[in-house]
């Protein structure tokens, strides 16, 4: 609307002619100047300038909307966006139905906490027929760390949906819907992404999983700005894939130790009246999500998987529709299950902190066979 022609605005003919004579042809050009600049340039009075600017603004500015009208619009458009249920009742309720379509959802946590387990479960669910709560389509699974296990996938399916996976033909059909790519370098990953956009249309793909983003650049660059710059194109491309295809895109991320400056990057700095900056609260955990602030802004929903005092939690750390909540969970033969559907509300530094207290004890009960 900023490029709307002034000739299309119902201004008095006399003032419209003056704008044209001074080569001010668009609303953007007119509104970029102050009232006094326009008075001098157009050689007209303040009253005429204000009247003209008011008419131009009324035409090009978006109308006001109430919270009620926005809520009604969201309800009307919900079928276009949609959410994919995870099967974790409490988490789905917090996220208004599950993993959102058309945006990036990140799973972040220490190694062995259950990120790949959740990816396998989500991939399986997406491949199921709609009458079983699935998306009845294919899944592209980019397995960067070679953690994808078809045996574990079938085990989850057999335990969760025995009526489907006890039939060999059905089990093979569901497993055949998950297309696994294993790029061994960032350049191979780049080639995979360029092919995926076509595959999304040709193969009825209903979900994209990338496990994991951080592993793509580990060992190639130091952490920090170099890593963020390396993935800048990939981040933008993956976001565009999500928006273009309107499917859920799930990406896992690793954790790293944070340095002295990380707290200020991830927290708001408050300026005191004397002009000095208030020191932000530091995390009580030594771990933060890898890939930096550029990546953090790219994801719409961040789910943190962590361990405190020997108990695993899945935490909604970032979401436009949910308050920060934590749900205790465990991993069984049927995949990830919540121990309680009632989320514990989080506040302050606890929202972004990532814990791994007692993680070794709970990850050594045979997870090697589950990965």
**310-320: average pLDDT:** 94
Q: Is the pTM of this model over 0.85?
A: no
CA 321 to CA 185: how far, in whole Å?
36
Of the CA atoms within 13 Å of residue 107, those in its CB half-sphere come to: 25
> Measured between alpha carbons, how far is 193 from 195 in angstroms, rounded to an integer?
5
Is the distance from CB of 85 to CB of 101 less than 8 angstroms? no
Please, where are the H alpha helices in the chain?
13-21, 27-31, 35-42, 46-60, 67-81, 89-94, 115-127, 150-160, 162-165, 168-176, 186-202, 225-230, 232-245, 262-266, 292-298, 359-362, 367-370
For the CA atoms of 90, 92, 93, 94, the dihedral, rounded to the nearest 10 degrees, stands at 90
Output DSSP code: residue 32: T
Q: How many angstroms from the chain centroid is the CA of residue 220?
A: 25
Q: Average the pLDDT over 350-360 and give the result.
A: 77
Region of poorest pLDDT, from 77-86, 110-119, 293-302:
77-86
- Taking only the tens place, the pLDDT of each residue in 87-145 is 999 999 999 999 999 999 999 999 999 999 999 999 999 999 988 888 999 999 999 99
- pLDDT digits 0-9 by tens, 147-205: 999 999 999 999 999 998 988 888 899 889 999 999 988 888 888 888 887 787 777 89
For the residues of 131-170, what is the DSSP string, one character each? GGTS--SEEEEEETTS---HHHHHHHHHHH-HHHHTSHHH
Q: What kind and span of H or E run contains 345?
A: strand 344-345
Give the separation between CA 273 and CA 369, rounded to whole angstroms. Answer: 58
The pLDDT score that the predictor gives to residue 197 is: 78
Identify the CA nearest to 253 among candidates 227, 218, 290: 290
Strand pairing partners for 84? 99
Coil vs helix vs strand at 5: strand
Distance of alpha carbon 351 from alpha carbon 163, whole angstroms:
40
H or E element that contains 317: strand 311-318
> Which region, left, alpha or beta, applies to residue 210 given φ > 0 means left and ψ of -120 to 50 means alpha?
beta
- The string of pLDDT tens digits covering residues 209-264 is 999 888 877 644 444 455 555 678 888 889 988 888 889 999 999 998 865 454 44
For residue 196 the two structure tokens come to 């995926």
Residue whose pair of structure tokens reads 């044209």 in the numeric block:
20
Rounded mean pLDDT of 321-345? Answer: 95
3 state SS of 288: strand
**Residue whose C-alpha is closest to residue 142's, from 197, 183, 103:** 183
Decide if 277 contacts 271 (C-beta within 8 A). yes
- Least confident window among 47-56, 190-199, 260-269: 260-269
C-alpha pair distances (Å), 265 with each of 110, 118, 214: 21, 29, 19
- Cβ atoms of residues 227 and 255 within 8 Å: no
Long-range contacts for 344-350 (Cβ within 8 Å, ≥24 apart)?
A: 346/315, 348/281, 349/281, 349/282, 349/283, 349/284, 350/284, 350/324
- In three-state secondary structure terms, 178 is strand
- Percent of the chain exceeding pLDDT 70 equals 81
* Closest among 341, 333, 349, 231 to 287, alpha carbons compared: 349
Considering Cα of 277, then 282, then 286, then 290, what sign does the dihedral take?
negative
Q: For position 246, what pLDDT does the model report?
A: 87
């Amino acid at each position: 609307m900023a490029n709307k022609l002034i000739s299309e605005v119902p201004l008095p003919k006399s003032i419209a002619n003056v704008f044209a004579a001074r080569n001010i042809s668009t609303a953007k050009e007119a509104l970029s100047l102050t009232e006094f600049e326009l008075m001098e340039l157009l050689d007209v009075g303040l009253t005429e300038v204000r009247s003209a600017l008011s008419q131009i603004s009324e035409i090009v500015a978006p109308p006001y909307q109430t919270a009620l009208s926005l809520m009604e619009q969201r309800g009307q458009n919900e079928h276009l966006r949609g959410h994919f249920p995870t099967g974790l009742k409490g988490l789905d309720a917090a996220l208004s139905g599950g993993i959102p379509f058309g945006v990036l959802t990140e799973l972040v946590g220490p190694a062995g906490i259950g990120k790949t387990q959740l990816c396998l479960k989500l991939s399986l669910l997406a491949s199921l027929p709609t009458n079983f709560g699935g998306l009845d389509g294919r899944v592209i699974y980019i397995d960067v760390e070679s953690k994808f296990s078809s045996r574990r996938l079938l085990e989850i399916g057999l335990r969760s949906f025995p009526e489907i996976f006890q039939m060999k033909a059905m089990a093979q059909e569901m497993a055949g819907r998950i297309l696994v790519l294993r790029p061994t370098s960032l350049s191979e990953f780049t080639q995979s992404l360029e092919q995926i956009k076509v595959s999304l249309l040709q193969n009825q793909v209903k979900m994209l999983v990338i496990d994991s983003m951080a592993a793509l650049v580990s060992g190639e660059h130091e952490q920090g700005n170099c890593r963020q710059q390396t993935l800048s194109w990939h981040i933008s491309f993956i976001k565009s894939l999500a928006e273009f295809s309107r499917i859920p895109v799930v990406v896992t991320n690793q954790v790293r130790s944070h340095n002295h400056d990380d707290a200020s990057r991830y927290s708001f700095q408050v300026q005191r009246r004397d002009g000095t900056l208030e020191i932000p609260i530091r995390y009580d955990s030594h771990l933060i999500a890898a890939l930096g602030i550029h990546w953090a802004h790219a994801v719409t929903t961040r789910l943190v998987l962590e361990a405190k005092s020997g108990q695993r939690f899945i935490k909604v750390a970032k979401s436009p529709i949910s308050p920060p909540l934590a749900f205790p969970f465990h991993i069984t033969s049927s995949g990830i299950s919540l121990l309680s559907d009632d989320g514990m509300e989080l506040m302050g530094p606890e929202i972004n902190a990532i814990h791994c207290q007692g993680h070794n004890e709970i990850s050594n009960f045979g997870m090697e066979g589950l990965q």
